[in-house]
Amino acid sequence: MIKTVELVDGAARMIDQTRLPTEKVFVDCRTIEEVGHAIKTMIIRGAPAIGVAAAMGVSLGADAISAEDFDGFYSQLEKKCDELAQSRPTAVNLAWGIDRMKRVARAGKDLSLPALKKRLREEAQTICDEDIAANRAMGSFGQTLIADGNNVLTHCNAGALATAGFGTALGVIRAAVNAGKKINVLANETRPFLQGARLTVWELMEDNIPVKLITDSMAGYFMQKKQVDVVVVGADRIAANGDVANKIGTYMVSVLAKTHNIPFYVAAPISTLDLSLASGEEIPIEERSADEVTIINNKRMAPEGAVVAHPAFDVTPNHLVTAIITNKGIALPPFTESLKKLAGESANP
Ligand code: MRU
């Protein structure tokens, strides 16, 4: 399995997702600031992977602190955490990972500084391990919704690369394949950053799972031709009512799926739920640079000076979501009740 991110020799080692699929390059982040930079520039991306990387970043940040006592240590750690939390706004897993590490730091206030740093390192590793386990659990719940022979459409990359391993939406597909089902994937290319074309197609080809790349604007065509049986996507943040923020273009796919009576499933761990938000309207949507829209592979696609918009995510309203597959089980509408019940104690906040 691809190692998206791992804690090795005082570094968070991550595969550089901006260079895939043509180059397989690993980047070692040795400081919390370097982890923040990797998140911002999308060397690492995908909500759960961001959460795991953030936890590792906090551990690296803690390692670099010298202080007389816990209060001195914690105030420095908080400052670094606040900065890291600014790296990307939409995926709630970032804040989730940081908050969990801060809680562990506070709980260890009576430990010696070296012991506390070790404890934080262990917690970052646990978060990484738990993410893989959550994806496997999601896979086994979710694969029951996929039938043998299904053509599954997905958007963006919600795979091993977007998590610590196995994936959320692609984890469901992997689990269906592992259960002996014949699955064909249609991967939307996902303009403008091309996570579908570059990452999803690469990942599935590595695993010999049949995948066909289509441009985002072809999704309706294939639904009309009855060549899509199910849609499965990931999520960056899910509000209490089941509104889902995910990669820009997801909303469009959900509307098409509704029109064509195709089930639209969202796969996401409990750490992606933000029950503090009543609806998706409150989810902050990241605006990324115009260059990511106008330039592809160093080639300018639009006139210099063109006015460009680049919201990186959109919100799919809950009425377009058939079910939300989590690591604790499958949530069905009405989501306000079902998500709360599944989340128990462990959701955000
Ligand atoms: O901008 P990105 O590449 O970080 O966006 C990723 C997505 O939108 C994914 O679908 C989402 O994070 C779920 S990943 C399991």
The position carrying tokens 């462990």 is 346
pLDDT tens for residues 112-170? 999 999 999 999 999 999 999 999 999 999 999 999 999 999 999 999 999 999 999 99
250 and 228 belong to one structural domain:
yes
The percentage of the chain sitting over the pLDDT mark of 70, rounded to a whole number, equals 98
Position 213 confidence tier, pLDDT thresholds 50, 70, 90:
very high
3-class SS letters over the chain: CCCCEEEECCEEEEECCCCCCCCCCEEEECCHHHHHHHHHCCCCCCHHHHHHHHHHHHHHHHHCCCCCCHHHHHHHHHHHHHHHHCCCCCCCHHHHHHHHHHHHHHHCCCCCHHHHHHHHHHHHHHHHHHHHHHHHHHHHHHHHHCCCCCEEEECCCCCHHHCCCCCCHHHHHHHHHHCCCCCEEEEECCCCCCHHHHHHHHHHHHCCCCEEEECHHHHHHHHHCCCCCEEEECCCEEECCCCEEEECCHHHHHHHHHHCCCCEEEECCHHHEECCCCCHHHCCCCECCCHHHHEECCEECCCCCCCCCCECEEEECHHHCCEEEECCEEECCCHHHHHHHHHCCCCEC
Query: Which of the listed residues 163, 246, 283 should we mutate to test ligand 1's pocket, taking the one with most ligand atoms within 8 A of CB?
Result: 246
The overall average pLDDT reported for the chain is 97
The pairing of beta strand 230-233 with beta strand 151-154: parallel
Domain boundary pick from 136, 163, 194: 136
pLDDT at 311 over 90: yes
- pLDDT at site 345: 62
- pLDDT at site 299: 95
- pLDDT at site 347: 62
108 and 182 belong to one structural domain:
no
Question: Number of C-alpha atoms within 13 angstroms, CB side, residue 341?
Answer: 11
pLDDT tens for residues 83-127? 999 999 999 999 999 999 999 999 999 999 999 999 999 999 999
- pLDDT at site 285: 98
142 and 101 belong to one structural domain:
no
pLDDT at 349 over 90: no
CB 62 within 8 A of CB 116: yes
pLDDT at 346 over 80: no
65 Cα: distance to centroid of ligand 1 (angstroms)? 32
What do you get for the CA distance between the two ends of the chain, in Å?
Answer: 31
310 and 339 belong to one structural domain:
yes
- pLDDT at site 275: 97
111 and 180 belong to one structural domain:
no
CA 102 to CA 104: how far, in whole Å? 5
Domain boundary pick from 136, 161, 192: 136
122 and 233 belong to one structural domain:
no
Ligand 1 lining (C-beta closer than 6 Å) = 45-48, 91, 156, 158, 162-163, 168, 195, 234-236, 246-247, 312
Atom of ligand 1 nearest to the CA of 168: 15
Atom of ligand 1 nearest to the CA of 163: 15
331 and 187 belong to one structural domain:
yes
103 and 229 belong to one structural domain:
no
233 Cα: distance to centroid of ligand 1 (angstroms)? 9
Question: Number of C-alpha atoms within 13 angstroms, CB side, residue 63?
Answer: 20
Catalytic residue positions, numbered = 236
74 Cα: distance to centroid of ligand 1 (angstroms)? 31
Stretch 170-194: mean pLDDT: 98
pLDDT at 2 over 90: no
| Total count of domains within the chain | 2
The pairing of beta strand 151-154 with beta strand 184-188: parallel
Q: Which domain holds residue 109?
A: 5-136
Stretch 15-37: mean pLDDT: 98
267 and 330 belong to one structural domain:
yes
Closest C-alpha among 203, 205, 210, 202 to residue 183 = 210
pLDDT at 348 over 70: no
pLDDT tens for residues 262-290? 999 999 999 999 999 999 999 999 999 99
Domain boundary pick from 116, 136, 156: 136
Atom of ligand 1 nearest to the CA of 286: 1
Neighbours of 97 (CB within 10 A): 30
Position 297 confidence tier, pLDDT thresholds 50, 70, 90:
confident
pLDDT at 80 over 80: yes
CATH number at residue 47: 1.20.120.420
Position 344 confidence tier, pLDDT thresholds 50, 70, 90:
confident
Stretch 244-256: mean pLDDT: 98
299 and 200 belong to one structural domain:
yes
CATH number at residue 184: 3.40.50.10470
Joined together, the tokens standing for residue 132 give 């893989």
162 and 33 belong to one structural domain:
no
204 and 278 belong to one structural domain:
yes
